[in-house]
Structure 1
């Protein structure tokens, strides 16, 4: 039996606690995940499930009084608690990030070329003409027409899709081994969305990167990812390869997400939205957090919160009824 390669990025017991006037918000709760070399891992869930907070915690973007604990192993070191000077040698250099909204992530008073050259100087030591040439090559790589003539443009002179491409160019400037993409297609029309996703996949192949793609869109996962991790109320509740997840979800929350998608097949079925709302992370119940919204809940769900447990086939779930769940198109009980 061939052993799996060592993970490029390994996360263990990651927790993020955010103080608020109404009490501490436990936004990320004991997340464990591995990212394999060359893999695209989808991180999915409803808004507020902790996806973006998790991504920022991986590269130390949270500042006090937010508390981050746990382990993020990359390159033989734990990035959590690493001194800022050493962390800067990893963040932006070996791990790049595409932020959710490029118009707020890009500096409006610096040209696109200046923002790419900043990264090139910081992480590659390039300046002057070599930096200009590399910046133009990066814009060309991400498909911006007339790349050399656009280096002097400001973010407001780019369309939404072009700004997202510019963000990708900045993230790729240091030739990272890992790319963290936080909802990179949010607010883009479907044509541009498809172009951006194809671009990320092409660059993954050309540059040999691994990617963590945060999204709430399972259609994007099906099109783009190799594996998927489902988050609910700050925790991972299911992990699986993409075909397995779409064939048979093994957590009631994942099943609810799948049933809320429009069916474009020959036998269309009514949408079944998940009732209720996610829990307040300041007051997490001492039970499965999905229980108040779950059609399959029983007394067994009301004890301690179920851990994420392996169930074979490279899958894991935190649902005590995983073996009894129906298929996506079958009855609710």
Structure 2
């Protein structure tokens, strides 16, 4: 892909005050997203994925502090006036939240909630807005879309609520879609349908997509590039094929080795020992060092910077060139 990036993020930080001290939830995150590209943001729970996604649209409120640059359309969204930001948020950049049952308003019909977005960000009103709302539900694969506009969220199944969230997000035909674990708690059949829908809409609308997930199978099926988060920062970025074949960070290697294999030759799972670090009290050096099988004294001395280790590949691992290559094929991960 060529040309200017659709989104450019530089030194993004999110600090959350807590009774136990400041929690530095996002630490110096940098990445670009090109038009029409799908970027997977992956990592364990608590790594900072959802906090990062919400920071892109400045959804955190004081006393939470955000800093850095989130450049879209030549402007820094973190410095933009609230009035100007409202014209971008939900219009040019939309978000699918993680849990549709809490994100959807239970006392408004699905049609009213889609119509609210249409009234705010398009010129459609009345019958034209209703027709467009039905068209959006039909686009997301909901049967009898015009009749379902009068239904409330509790009358939809989990998969249909997720599709309704997607319809609301797509109402303004955004250039960028932020999806926070859109397939969580869905059965595998519905999950596959949602992912195929997102990719089809990406192709039809030409929008960029950032997909937050902890499911590497979803990443393999959907993404062009992957950014791996650990301890509030990016520790590796790579094309999806390159990352699955030869991870360049010990944490990424651990994630891939913990996947169940496919085919006749199945191997025991190799879980990563321990748990994610406490972001209020990070260990010295590399935050993954206490759980890493490749750790040395050098790893504990100072936190390695994220740097280019191969064309198009960044890693924050001192031992990136010593890690074993994997025979993980994307079709195996799909299984």
TM-score (norm 1): 0.97
- d(CA) in 2 for partners of 1:296, 1:95: 40
Counterpart selection for 2:241 from 243, 249, 273: 243
Give the equivalent residue in structure 1 for 2:285.
287
- d(CA) in 2 for partners of 1:254, 1:282: 23
Give the equivalent residue in structure 2 for 1:155.
153
Alpha-carbon distance, 1:81 to partner: 2.6
Matched, 1:98 2:96: yes
Deviations 1:240-289 (A, max 9, x none): 00000000100000000000000113321110000001110001223000
Gaps of 5+ in 2: 329-335
Give the equivalent residue in structure 1 for 2:144.
146
- d(CA) in 1 for partners of 2:255, 2:3: 31
2:245·2:327 contact (CA, 8 Å) conserved in 1? no
DSSP 3-state at the match of 2:174: coil
Counterpart selection for 2:72 from 74, 97, 112: 74
DSSP 3-state at the match of 1:30: strand
- d(CA) in 2 for partners of 1:5, 1:283: 41
- d(CA) in 2 for partners of 1:81, 1:186: 32
- d(CA) in 2 for partners of 1:6, 1:309: 21
Q: After TM superposition, what 4+ stretches of structure 1 lie above 3 angstroms from structure 2?
A: none
DSSP 3-state at the match of 1:88: helix
Give the equivalent residue in structure 1 for 2:26.
28
DSSP 3-state at the match of 1:237: strand
Alpha-carbon distance, 1:329 to partner: 6.5
Give the equivalent residue in structure 2 for 1:311.
309
DSSP 3-state at the match of 2:91: coil
Give the equivalent residue in structure 2 for 1:62.
60
Alpha-carbon distance, 1:82 to partner: 1.6
- d(CA) in 2 for partners of 1:72, 1:148: 38
Alpha-carbon distance, 1:5 to partner: 1.9
- d(CA) in 2 for partners of 1:125, 1:288: 51
Matched, 1:12 2:10: yes
Give the equivalent residue in structure 1 for 2:107.
109
The aligned runs of 1:123-142 (5 Å cut-off) are 123-142=121-140
- d(CA) in 2 for partners of 1:164, 1:180: 14
Give the equivalent residue in structure 1 for 2:187.
189
Alpha-carbon distance, 1:290 to partner: 0.1
Alpha-carbon distance, 1:202 to partner: 0.5
Gaps of 5+ in 1: none
- d(CA) in 2 for partners of 1:221, 1:308: 21
TM-score (norm 2): 0.96
Counterpart selection for 1:225 from 210, 223, 226: 223
